[in-house]
Amino acid sequence: MVNSVTFPSGVGGDGTTVTDDDDVSTGLGNGGHLLRFIPCLSNVVAIAQYIVTQATNAASSATTAATQAGLATTNGATQVSLATTQATNAANSATAAAGSATAASTSAATAASQAAALVATSATSLTIAVASKTFATQTGKQFAAGQFILAVSAANPANYMHGQVTSYAGGGLIVDVQDAGGAGTFGDWVLSVSGSRGADGAIGATGPTGPAASLTGKSFYMMGA
């Protein structure tokens, strides 16, 4: 199941959608977190600021309406009733805005937590190879047996290992590496949830045949026995 979070532009976001798969446009997997994790946090902050502003404006409207209610008392019961209604409506708006702020904050915290759980780091010194590899990493991540993991060197993503999780417990992550790139031994691994490797593409067409060799003007000698 693919989880996704959209940051609506109407509440301060930039309108983007982020998913926890390896989609090339929206995914946090397969190295996508390197491009999208920080923008996700920026969207969370922007939406929270928008909600706080809305709540502040609503509270200010409530205060203004209450003041008007007090002044209207001198103008008769009708004016008092009207102003009281306006104050109640403004207070209800403030309450609704506060509720929206709480919900947005909860959603933002959930999104940030989910995104963080898809990425980890490891300082275990490992040599790139197609083999079983054990990483010492953080606990509480969304790594599970059978899931695909991409491990890349923070210094150079061209050095990587990709495979399936054999087990994950107590900060120990064992991965059956099935394909890799680059070469060397590294201890600056960035681990992220990934998708399975795609099928190999079709073999390209055979190139054109080169020109035939010319024998014109050449002499050949037969060596006797």
**3-class secondary structure for the chain?**
CCCEEECCHHHCCCCCEEECCCCCCCECCCCCHHHHHHHHHHHHHHHHHHHHHHHHHHHHHHHHHHHHHHHHHHHCHHHHHHHHHHHHHHHHHHHHHHHHHHHHHHHHHHHHHHHHCCEEEECCCEECCCCEEEEECCCCCCCCCCCEEEEEECCCCCCEEEEEEEEEECCEEEEEEEEEECCCEECCEEEEEECCCCCCCCCCCCCCCCCCCCCCCCCCCCCCC
pLDDT mean over 194-209: 75
Average pLDDT of every residue of the chain: 84
What is the structure's pLDDT at 104? Answer: 66
pLDDT band of 123, cuts 50, 70, 90 = very high
Q: Domain check: are 108 and 140 in the same one?
A: no
Q: Which tens digit of pLDDT belongs to each residue from 131-187?
A: 999 999 999 999 999 999 999 999 999 999 999 999 999 999 999 999 999 999 999
Q: Domain check: are 181 and 77 in the same one?
A: no
Q: Domain check: are 9 and 112 in the same one?
A: yes
Q: Which tens digit of pLDDT belongs to each residue from 93-103?
A: 777 777 777 76
Look up the domain containing 174 and give its range: 119-194
